[in-house]
């Protein structure tokens, strides 16, 4: 644990909501999905882009690339299932991840 994290913990703040922690949790989920479904090096470029993303928005905009990669390696159903799980990681951290109450209009 880093010094800053222990400082916030002493003040009663939950470090699991820090920007860095959220980005890492989402990045990890995306990389796990990619690794679970795409085993060849054809998508190393996507691995590198996900690994190098600096914020939640950058990771959000890599979701279509992840969907395409998984769909190409497996099938669309597997890709949709994986993306549903990844999208849940963004909930509360990216406005587009929260369904709109007007979405069904």
- Select from 67, 104, 105 the least CA-distant residue to 86: 67
Q: Does residue 103 lie within any of the structural domains?
A: no
Q: Which residue has the higher pLDDT, 21 or 93?
A: 21
Confirm whether 63 is domain-assigned.
yes
Residue with tokens 């820090």: 18
Q: How many domains does the chain have?
A: 1
Backbone φ and ψ for 91, nearest 5 degrees, come out as -55, 125
Assess if residue 83 is contained within a domain: yes
Rounded Cα distance, 94 and 38, in Å = 26
85 inside domain? yes
Q: Are 82 and 37 in contact (CB under 8 A)?
A: yes
State the pTM of this model.
Answer: 0.76
Supply the range of the domain harboring residue 45: 16-94
pLDDT digits (tens, 9 = 90+) for 24-56: 999 999 999 999 999 889 999 999 999 999 999
CB 62 within 8 A of CB 49: yes
Residue 59 lies in a domain: yes
CB 65 within 8 A of CB 82: no
Q: Using the predicted structure, report yes or no on whether residue 9 has a pLDDT greater than 80.
A: no
pLDDT of residue 104: 46
Give the C-alpha separation, 72 to 66, whole Å.
10
Residue 55: φ, ψ to 5°: -150, 175
Rounding to the nearest 10 degrees, give the CA dihedral for residues 34, 37, 99, 93.
Answer: -20
Judge whether 99 lies within some domain. Answer: no
Average pLDDT along the chain: 83
Is 104 among the domain residues?
Answer: no
Q: 105 lies in a domain?
A: no
- Does residue 15 surpass a pLDDT of 60? no
């Amino acid at each position: 644990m880093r010094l800053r994290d222990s400082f916030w913990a002493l003040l009663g703040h939950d470090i699991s909501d820090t920007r860095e922690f959220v980005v890492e949790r989402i990045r990890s989920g995306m990389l796990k999905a990619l690794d679970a479904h795409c085993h060849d090096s054809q998508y190393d470029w996507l691995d590198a882009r996900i690994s190098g993303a600096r914020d939640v928005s950058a990771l959000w905009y890599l979701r279509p690339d992840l969907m395409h990669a998984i769909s190409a390696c497996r099938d669309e159903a597997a890709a949709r299932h994986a993306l549903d799980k990844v999208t849940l990681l963004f909930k509360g951290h990216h406005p587009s991840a929260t369904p709109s109450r007007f979405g069904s209009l």
